[in-house]
Structure 1
Amino acid sequence: MLSFRALSALAALLVSLPAAAAQSPAAVFGIELAEPGTIGPRPVKPEDARRLGLASEALRREVAGRGLEPVDLTPQAAAIRRDAPFYKCEGCAEKIAQAAGAAYVVYGYVQRSAPQVLNLTVTITEAGSGKVLRGGQVVIQGDTDETWLHGVRSLVKNRLFAEPLPNRS
């Protein structure tokens, strides 16, 4: 992980950027569904696919409001399909982000631990080095649109863009 000094510098950079003037380009990938224990791809249920889309769009809006400007990943659609899921591939998200002109990478996944309990994990890395800058996890209790969206907002606010705690990094 990064040192306290590096986290402080990143936080200062993201907080001090004028919203309109200095947006940092970021590849914000769609949130994926992680299903441990399954072998091979499994079709995503329509309700889960819809909620993944809602959560992914909320993540894009939330990080855009905090100084990271999502880049258009449409030209990289074939590479995204080929390399996904990003929580398993080591460095492929960063390569796609660099090709899209992004300085940062934001990706995440939801893992169902019980029918009404989900874990949402999101990571922010540097596209050039792959260094993890920020990451966090939140437990979503309840499988509704609102609980998923609340989980995204909470994670962004309280983990990804929260000020570092003194003497803890």
Structure 2
Amino acid sequence: MTRLAVLLCLAATIAPAGLARAEPPTPLAVFDIELINTSLAPSTPEELERIRALGRQLRDALAQSGRYRIVDLAPVQAALDKAPELRNCNGCELPLARQVGAHQAAVAWVQKVSNLILNINLKIEDATTGARVRAGSVDIRGNTDESWTRGLRFLLEDQILADKAD
């Protein structure tokens, strides 16, 4: 009986320590966000800067979540410069992600339907299997820095980083 009591006490002190240990962040390749302009108006310099800024915001937010470690894509930049649009390339991003040591790959794009209607899309896939790990899309109204930033924040908080019961 004494031996059982000692084992139970040991288990009670060890278990919480094991539960408190967090998993290391997943290495993630976050590719540049693409702007898909299906509107009648041409893309503006402001939109091109917004797409770059949104990419920085996406990388920062994913890294700050503690779930991801953003990997450097510089070693595969030459291949990326020659690659087709990643959102429709049938997984061509996956070997590039693996090449830089990522376990997952994030592909995002903004579709400009008009100056009033845009949507931000993001998919995160397993770099080995191509299986979708997370995905989401959000519609935004207004083509401003603020609307793009708010849209991305909502997409991340509500769909990508939200803990969902599967």
Query: C-alpha distance in 2, partners of 1:17/1:55?
Result: 32
Q: What is the percent sequence identity of the aligned residues?
A: 32
Query: C-alpha distance in 2, partners of 1:34/1:113?
Result: 9
Query: C-alpha distance in 2, partners of 1:70/1:88?
Result: 22
1:28 correspondence with 2:27: no
**Residues 17 and 44 (structure 1 numbering): CA distance in 2 closer, same or farther, change over 3 Å?**
farther
Q: Deviations over 1:5-37 (max 9, x none)?
A: xxxxxxxxxxx873xx71211001111011359
Matching residue of 1:10 = none
**Residues 87 and 17 (structure 1 numbering): CA distance in 2 closer, same or farther, change over 3 Å?**
farther
| Structure 1 unpaired stretches of 5+ | 1-15
Residue 90 of structure 1 aligns to a residue whose secondary structure is coil
Query: C-alpha distance in 2, partners of 1:77/1:144?
Result: 29
Matching residue of 1:52 = 51
Query: C-alpha distance in 2, partners of 1:17/1:85?
Result: 39
Q: Moved runs in structure 1, 4+ residues, more than 2 A?
A: 35-38
Task: Please state how far the C-alpha of 1:45 moved relative to its aligned partner.
Answer: 3.2
**Residues 122 and 96 (structure 1 numbering): CA distance in 2 closer, same or farther, change over 3 Å?**
same
Matching residue of 2:81 = 81
The root-mean-square deviation of aligned C-alpha atoms, in Å, is: 2.1
Task: Please state how far the C-alpha of 1:146 moved relative to its aligned partner.
Answer: 1.2
Matching residue of 1:158 = 158
Q: Which has the higher contact order (CA 8 A, sep 6+)?
A: 1
| Structure 2 unpaired stretches of 5+ | 1-19
Tell which structure's C-alpha radius of gyration is larger: 2
Query: C-alpha distance in 1, partners of 2:151/2:53?
Result: 12
TM-score scaled by length of structure 1: 0.79
Number of residues paired by the alignment? 145
Residue 130 of structure 2 aligns to a residue whose secondary structure is coil
Query: C-alpha distance in 2, partners of 1:101/1:48?
Result: 31
